[in-house]
């Protein structure tokens, strides 16, 4: 296995940005980056309304932002919430909205090389796939503080290099990546399978995505 499973009894770090980012030294984390144009603003606004509606239907008053409320729910409700809205996001990303410039192999290779650059030094890189408008990866970091710092580094470097290739400036990635600490061997195997099959399930030819398989 790439790293350890998340241990709720061990020390962890929680970074508060637009959403909480949980990290734990050595634990495997599933991360998704998406391009800034991958999900239209009206869709994001609709999802915000749907999250509030979901909480209200479950008898939970929304007196603050949903991201502050969800961690206080029972484990079962948290699981239901995440399954519902993570599925919405992943299904929509696979419709390949936006310019989808990462289907160009030379641009996908910039992301690939950045992810692999410090493999074995700052982190252990597992399976990943560069899709036309998003990236999924599995990784284990050496320290609790490394996740946010390294994600920021990946996003900054790749955005600059891709914009140079495209002859443009401006925002390339959505600033806040999605991350989830892996809880079980079954979940780890599921996520590996999900990454491996993402391009095919999205109906893409193999020249429109870049897949890397981790072999221990």
Confidence of residue 18 (pLDDT cuts 50, 70, 90): very low
Q: Residues 104, 49: one domain?
A: no
Residues 175 and 79 in one domain: no
* Same domain, residue pair 169 and 62: no
- Write down which residue in 93, 115, 132 finishes a domain: 93
- Are 186 and 199 contained in the same domain? yes
The CATH number given to whatever domain includes residue 118 is 3.30.70.1290
Tokens of 77: 């409700």
Q: Note whether residue 140 is domain-resident.
A: yes
Mean pLDDT of 137-142: 94
Residues 129 and 30 in one domain: yes
Instruction: Answer yes or no: is pLDDT of 9 > 80.
Output: no
Lowest mean pLDDT among 3-12, 126-135, 145-154, 155-164: 3-12
* Residues 49 and 27 grouped into a single domain: no
Q: Where are the beta strands (DSSP E) in the chain?
A: 13-16, 20-23, 28-34, 123-130, 134-141, 178-181, 210-212
Tell me, yes or no, whether 1 lies in a domain. no
Distance from C-alpha of 213 to C-alpha of 151, rounded to nearest angstrom: 20
52 in the same domain as 33: no
Q: Residue 65: inside a domain, yes or no?
A: yes
Other C-beta atoms lying within 10 Å of the C-beta of residue 29:
24
- Does 181 lie in the same domain as 78? no
Question: 26 with 118, same domain?
Answer: yes
The confidence band for 189, taking pLDDT boundaries of 50, 70 and 90, is very high
Beta strands across the sheet bearing 134-141:
178-181, 28-34, 134-141, 123-130, 210-212
- Is residue 8 assigned to a domain? no
Q: Tens of pLDDT along 68-114?
A: 898 888 989 988 988 888 787 788 888 888 999 999 999 999 999 99
Does residue 143 lie within any of the structural domains? yes
Q: What is the pLDDT of residue 91?
A: 82
pTM: 0.80
For position 20, what pLDDT does the model report?
47
Q: What is the pLDDT of residues 164-188, one digit of tens each?
A: 999 999 999 987 788 888 989 999 9
Task: Tally the domains of the chain.
Answer: 2
3 state SS of 31: strand
81 and 156 co-located in one domain? no
Q: Are residues 134 and 67 in the same domain?
A: no
Is there a domain that residue 3 lies in?
no
Domain extent, residue 124, equals 13-38+99-212
Looking at residue 16, its pLDDT comes to 53
Q: Clarify whether residues 107 and 17 are in a common domain.
A: yes
Would you say residue 5 lies in a domain? no
Stretch 131-155: mean pLDDT:
91
Q: Is 183 left (phi over 0), alpha (psi -120 to 50) or beta?
A: alpha
């Amino acid at each position: 296995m790439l790293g350890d499973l998340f241990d709720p009894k061990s020390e962890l770090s929680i970074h508060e940005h637009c959403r909480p980012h949980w990290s734990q030294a050595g634990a495997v984390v599933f991360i998704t980056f998406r391009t800034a144009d991958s999900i239209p603003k009206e869709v994001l606004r609709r999802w915000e309304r749907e999250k509030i509606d979901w909480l209200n239907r479950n008898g939970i008053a929304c007196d603050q932002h949903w991201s502050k409320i969800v961690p206080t729910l029972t484990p079962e409700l948290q699981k239901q919430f995440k399954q519902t809205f993570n599925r919405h996001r992943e299904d929509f990303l696979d419709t390949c909205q936006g310019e989808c410039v990462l289907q160009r192999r030379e641009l996908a290779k910039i992301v690939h090389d950045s992810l692999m650059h410090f493999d074995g030094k700052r982190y252990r890189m597992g399976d990943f796939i560069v899709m036309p408008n998003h990236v999924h990866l599995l990784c284990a970091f050496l320290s609790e503080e490394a996740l946010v710092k390294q994600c920021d580094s990946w996003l900054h470097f790749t955005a600059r290099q891709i914009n140079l290739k495209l002859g443009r400036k401006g925002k390339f990635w959505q600033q806040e990546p999605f991350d989830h600490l892996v809880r079980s061997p079954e979940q780890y195997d599921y996520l590996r399978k999900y990454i491996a099959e993402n391009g095919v399930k999205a109906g893409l030819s193999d020249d429109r995505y870049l897949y890397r398989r981790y072999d221990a």
